[in-house]
Amino acid sequence: MPMQIRRSPLLVLLLLALAAACSTNAAGTRASRSDTITVDDLRAANSTNLYDAVRTIRPNWLRARSPNSFQNQGQVQVYFDDTRVGGVESLRNLPMQGIAYLQWFDPITASARWGLDHEQGAIVVSTRPQQ
């Protein structure tokens, strides 16, 4: 019978801290921009809604990752200016006008920021300029 690994809160926190440390470079800035869709990217996609734009520009953001056999698979969560609005289908109902950028958060980073029910990651849609 295979040995079961128990998750301890300390181990989860350690993994989250490690993931956060690895997501920035030595200067403290994000190493890759593949986690962001800019307003220029949105214009170039020429889509009628945010879902279609993301599907065109970064389709991997919409895909559920492999299911964890110990937990519910869940779905990618979407935030609009710091308000959780639902899964990726909610992108179809968000306005294209006024969007400054969209940003992808991997499951570990999203879980550290918003809670453990983000096992598929998160997409943040923002009308505020990126800092």
CATH of the domain at 91: 2.170.130
Decide: pTM greater than 0.85: no
- Average pLDDT score over residue span 60-80: 76
Q: Tally the domains of the chain.
A: 1
Element at 1 (helix H, strand E): none
Encoded tokens for 89: 């289908």
Q: What is the pLDDT of residue 23?
A: 45
> In terms of DSSP bridges, do strands 77-80 and 36-38 run parallel, antiparallel, or are they unpaired?
unpaired
Does residue 13 lie within any of the structural domains? no
Largest CA distance in the chain: 56
- Average pLDDT score over residue span 40-49: 93
Does residue 4 lie within any of the structural domains? no
Does residue 67 lie within any of the structural domains? yes
